[in-house]
Chain A
């Protein structure tokens, strides 16, 4: 089971919107609505930002939103802020290995 494919880096200016893609297969992203997104600041544990494709946990800003089309899930951050600079990982349930994570995307706020 290969990792889900994410762009290595995405950048944007404060206030802008950016979108991070997460591409898998019909055995993971495309087959289940169990896609999650995690934010990780340097030296810190990952933090859940989106679950079940598009749901936000309590306390997570509504600037973060998720969606899915076919085998590709997406995380959009609107109104980009300096504090959003971090690594982002997608994750999906998979029929073969139970769970697979994405390759990770470094978000830079210019």
Chain B
């Protein structure tokens, strides 16, 4: 059974960089059939797609966040990571990692991790 697990600091200071890692178990991140992505949800609000990466390193970002987002992949560790720079309180959210199929389905999700931006 595929499992995804987010990890990283739960508290980040304003203007700093948020960094999260998603560890994939029960399957290979190098599968040609899937992409790997990040989605966030501010407290009490809806979902927002951040971006996705293919095992080869090809990336796709939400234009509204593109200038601040970097997603990378480490196939040797079966992990992919998110960096979001220059964070503000508006970036406070539960961050989910998820697997995305080639037909645009987010079929497996991590449990989510709350990141709070505060001094």
Contacts and interface: CB of A to CB of B under 8 A. Distances in A.
A38 B41 CA distance: 14
B46 A101 contact: yes
Q: Tell me which of B46, B64, B96 has the highest count of chain A C-beta atoms within 10 A of its own C-beta.
A: B46
A48 interface: yes
Contacts, number: 58
B49 A98 contact: yes
Contacts of A38: 47, 106
B62 A34 contact: no
A52 B103 contact: yes
Nearest to B108: A48
Interface stretch (B20-28, B81-89, B109-117): B109-117
B109 A45 contact: yes
Interface string B17-54: 00000000000000000000000000000111100100
Contacts of B105: 34, 36, 48, 51-52
Interface of B: 46-49, 52, 60, 62-64, 96, 103-107, 109-112
Contact of B49 (A32, A51, A57, A99): A99
Size category of the A interface is 20 to 34
Given A96-B63, A97-B63, A98-B62, A48 B106 contact: yes
A51 B46 contact: no
Contacts of B48: 101
Contacts of B109: 45-47
Contacts of B46: 3, 89, 101-104
21 contacts: A1-B63, A1-B64, A32-B104, A34-B103, A44-B111, A45-B111, A46-B47, A46-B96, A47-B109, A48-B105, A48-B107, A52-B103, A57-B107, A96-B63, A97-B62, A98-B52, A98-B60, A99-B104, A102-B46, A103-B46, A104-B47
